[in-house]
Amino acid sequence: MKPVIHLIVAARPNFMKIAPLYHKLKQLNLFDIVFVHTGQHYDINMSASFLNDLSLPKPDINLGIGSGTHAEQTGYVMISYEKVLIENPPDWIVVAGDVNSTLACTVTAKKLNLKVAHLEAGLRSYDRTMPEEINRIVTDTLADVLWTPSEDADVNLRNEGIENSRIIRVGNMMIDSFEFLRNIIENQNTREHLGLHPKKYGIITLHRPSNVDSCYTLCPIISAITELAEKTKLVFPIHPRTQRMASKYDLLAKLQKNDNIVLVEPLRYVEFMNLVIQSQFVITDSGGIQEETTYLNIPCMTLRKNTERPITCSQGTNRLVNYDDLNICHEEILKGKWPHGRKPDLWDGKTATRVVNSLESLIA
- Residues in contact with ligand UD1 by CB under 6 A are 11-13, 40-43, 46-47, 67, 98-100, 131-132, 207, 239-241
Q: Which is nearer to ligand UD1, 13 or 349 (CB)?
A: 13
Q: Which is nearer to ligand UD1, 101 or 280 (CB)?
A: 101
Cα(234)–Cα(226) distance, integer angstroms: 9
Residue 101 contacts by C-beta under 8 Å, 6 or more apart in sequence?
8, 10, 11, 14, 38, 40, 65, 73, 74, 77, 95
Query: Minimum distance between the CB of residue 208 and ligand UD1, rounded to whole angstroms?
Result: 8
Dihedrals φ, ψ of 197, to 5°?
-105, 145
Query: Minimum distance between the CB of residue 165 and ligand UD1, rounded to whole angstroms?
Result: 29
Query: Minimum distance between the CB of residue 65 and ligand UD1, rounded to whole angstroms?
Result: 10
- The kind and range of the H/E element at 237 are strand 233-237
Cα(281)–Cα(267) distance, integer angstroms: 17
Judge contact between 102 and 95, C-beta under 8 A: yes
Query: Minimum distance between the CB of residue 241 and ligand UD1, rounded to whole angstroms?
Result: 4
Q: Which is nearer to ligand UD1, 43 or 331 (CB)?
A: 43
Judge contact between 109 and 116, C-beta under 8 A: yes
Strand, helix or coil for residue 268: coil
Strand, helix or coil for residue 282: strand
Cα(132)–Cα(96) distance, integer angstroms: 12
Ramachandran category for residue 48: left, alpha or beta (phi over 0 → left; psi -120 to 50 → alpha): alpha
Q: Which is nearer to ligand UD1, 65 or 228 (CB)?
A: 65
> Within 10 Å of residue 172's Cβ, how many Cβ atoms?
28
Q: Which is nearer to ligand UD1, 82 or 213 (CB)?
A: 213
Strand, helix or coil for residue 235: strand
Q: Which is nearer to ligand UD1, 100 or 188 (CB)?
A: 100
Cα(233)–Cα(61) distance, integer angstroms: 42
Nearest to 332 by CA among 294, 307, 308, 300: 300
Query: Minimum distance between the CB of residue 31 and ligand UD1, rounded to whole angstroms?
Result: 27
Query: Minimum distance between the CB of residue 362 and ligand UD1, rounded to whole angstroms?
Result: 27
Q: Which is nearer to ligand UD1, 89 or 209 (CB)?
A: 209
Measured distance between the N- and C-terminal CA atoms of the chain, rounded to whole angstroms: 14
The alpha-helical segments, DSSP class H, found in 278-325 are 288-296, 311-314
Catalytic residue numbers read 207
Query: Minimum distance between the CB of residue 5 and ligand UD1, rounded to whole angstroms?
Result: 23
